[in-house]
Amino acid sequence: MYNAFDESLERIKRATGARTQVDLAAILGIRQSSISDAKRRQSIPADWLLKLYRSHGLNPDWVTGGDQPQVLREGMALPVGLMEPGAGYSSDKPKSRTVTVSSMTGVIAEDGAFQERPVEMLAIPEPFACSSLTVFKMEHQNMEPIIRRGAYFGVNKEQKQLRSGEIFAVAVPNEGMVVRRLFNDFENNRVILRSENTAYKEESLGSTTIIGNIIGRVWWVLQEL
């Protein structure tokens, strides 16, 4: 007799055409042992749900609980983009948590710290929350299409170590808080701040300057497609 996890796994296989765990591991881009680990925990990892949405448009609530619709279509609000790998997503219908949303136009103090300015409240899935999370609302178009204007995005303020190619929230002098993809330019002792929208030019900050100005890594995005 199937339990909730097994039923979720069968829904995934049925929707993706995977016949074996080897097939499923290839679709998810994971090791086969990761499926065994998830089965032992009886929990569908959140990164599976995001990969399945990206590749097949599958609704996380359908995967975990059978709730319709099976496929999330254009215009529906859903989690997309960046979610910490391995975060748990229970086979039961997910719980939500209400969090404060801050404006990107908060105040930068004399020491360079970004002081948040709350503007509204938002209910997010429980797995999207962490103790060091701050949620912001995107007010610019420079990161489109990954983060559209009006999208909500979570910033993990504990993750400030610069890793080239990842997206961070940064406090920029005379500009305020910005969201950019960062790249180390060791040869010129600087960090490149790159927008996704090619209409915006690259910026750069000295390597020593940016260290104290990173607010945190963008962890996830919620937006209308």
Contact between 76 and 224 under an 8 Å Cβ cutoff? The reply is: yes
- Map out the domains of the chain with their CATH numbers: 4-77 (1.10.260.40), 97-224 (2.10.109.10)
Query: Positive or negative CA dihedral for 124, 140, 183, 112?
Result: negative
The pLDDT assigned to 80 comes to 37
Mean pLDDT by 10 residues, the chain (225 residues): 80 84 83 87 82 78 82 46 39 65 75 75 80 91 90 91 88 84 90 92 87 88 73
pTM value > 0.75: no
Contacts of 38 (CB under 8 A, 6+ apart): 5, 44, 45, 48
The pLDDT assigned to 120 comes to 87
The pLDDT assigned to 72 comes to 65
Contact between 57 and 38 under an 8 Å Cβ cutoff? The reply is: no
The closest of 46, 48, 8 to 27, measured between CA atoms, is: 48
Single-letter residue type at 21: Q
Contacts of 26 (CB under 8 A, 6+ apart): none
The pLDDT assigned to 85 comes to 36
The pLDDT assigned to 26 comes to 82
The pLDDT assigned to 137 comes to 92
